[in-house]
Amino acid sequence: MMPVASLQFIRELPKVELHLHLETSLRLRRLAERRRGASDPARHPPGWPALSPPSHIADPARFTGYDRLRRLRYLSRAGSIADEWYTSENIEQITYELLEEAQRQHIRYVEVRVGGRRGFALLGAPRMLDAMAHARAQAEARLGVHCGFIMTIVRERGPEEAEQRVREAIAGRGGGVVGVDLAGDEQNYPPALFARPLGLARDAGLGITIHAGEFAGPAGVWTAVAHLGARRIGHGIRAVEDPELLTRLRDRAVTLELCPTSNLHLGLCPSIEALPLRRLLDAGVPVTVNSDDPLLLHTDLSRELHAVATAFSLDGAEVTSLVNNAARAAFAPVPAVP
């Protein structure tokens, strides 16, 4: 048997990541604390709350089901951040810093999701996306890191706002927008509600990825693939419950964006070893591994790949295959490794 891929091997391996959130609020808050010299809680200005470690902001064990998802993913990202920190300059800086982190991990291409309503409300989508596009251009020139942006549509905000986000994404293609993502409460806001806006995105040539098969069962994955044209599924681990669905995913080359630590923290599996990774691979389903919310979950892509390599005894060739799956499923061409 080949040895399990080491963390050093994985860190040095040129990589591609497809499921990574910008985490605008949390990144802005850290930026604010750095500029205010407030990393030490004793030095916080009056009224400025201390930034606890993300695991202390929201304890996953206190919540269940979708409430756990909502609190962990959304409420704890922001903490308290004043409106004045939502500037084009700050958005550009936190985007560039995210791409610097990617470069340190030898990530060659990354797709970054953005969907914070507050940022779009305060800046407007054109300014927000333009700031991110400036960071993208700088990162490509200085760091050799390439990226695309995915506009996130949140189900709870309804199909009207979804259509607005899609039209903004279409307008932002020249600045690096490559796709749209439908996320949020899949149990109470089924994908079919968003057929029109996602159809607009598909007709415009944008890639479509949909959070499904995470808290709800395989039915949402079926709808996402058969009716909404999803080329990728965010998470999708519950697809394993339906063998016929696995065949459809394999035959249509629909890629699953697995996020192991995220699933663990959200209570969707008791351990990394309990993820259905091996069953998905054995069924021929294209699988990728991603970090999802690295600041919130204290992880990164290298650690995620090493965690599954350890749990499932994956050697270097198998880990490289996971990375190659991501390269093939990217919504824009991935540059060749020199």
Catalytic residues: 214
Identify the burial level of 61 via C-beta atoms within 10 angstroms of its C-beta, where 0-12 means exposed, 13-18 middle and 19 or more buried: exposed
The β-bridge partners of 151 are 114, 180
Spatial separation of the C-alpha atoms in residues 334 and 84, rounded to whole Å = 36
Spatial separation of the C-alpha atoms in residues 230 and 180, rounded to whole Å = 10
Other Cβ atoms less than 10 A from the Cβ of 338: the count is: 6
Identify the burial level of 143 via C-beta atoms within 10 angstroms of its C-beta, where 0-12 means exposed, 13-18 middle and 19 or more buried: middle
Indicate the pairing of strand 232-235 with strand 255-258: parallel
Nearest CA to 257 out of 181, 186, 190 is that of 181
Q: What is the enclosing helix (H) or strand (E) of 182? A: strand 177-183
Contact 50, 41 (CB under 8 A): yes
Contact 124, 31 (CB under 8 A): no
Q: In what order do the strands lie in the sheet with 287-289?
A: 15-21, 107-114, 146-154, 177-183, 207-212, 232-235, 255-258, 287-289
DSSP 288: E
Q: CA-based Rg of the chain, rounded to a whole angstrom? A: 19
Contact 257, 291 (CB under 8 A): no
Q: What is the token pair recorded at 167? A: 């039209």
Spatial separation of the C-alpha atoms in residues 288 and 257, rounded to whole Å = 5
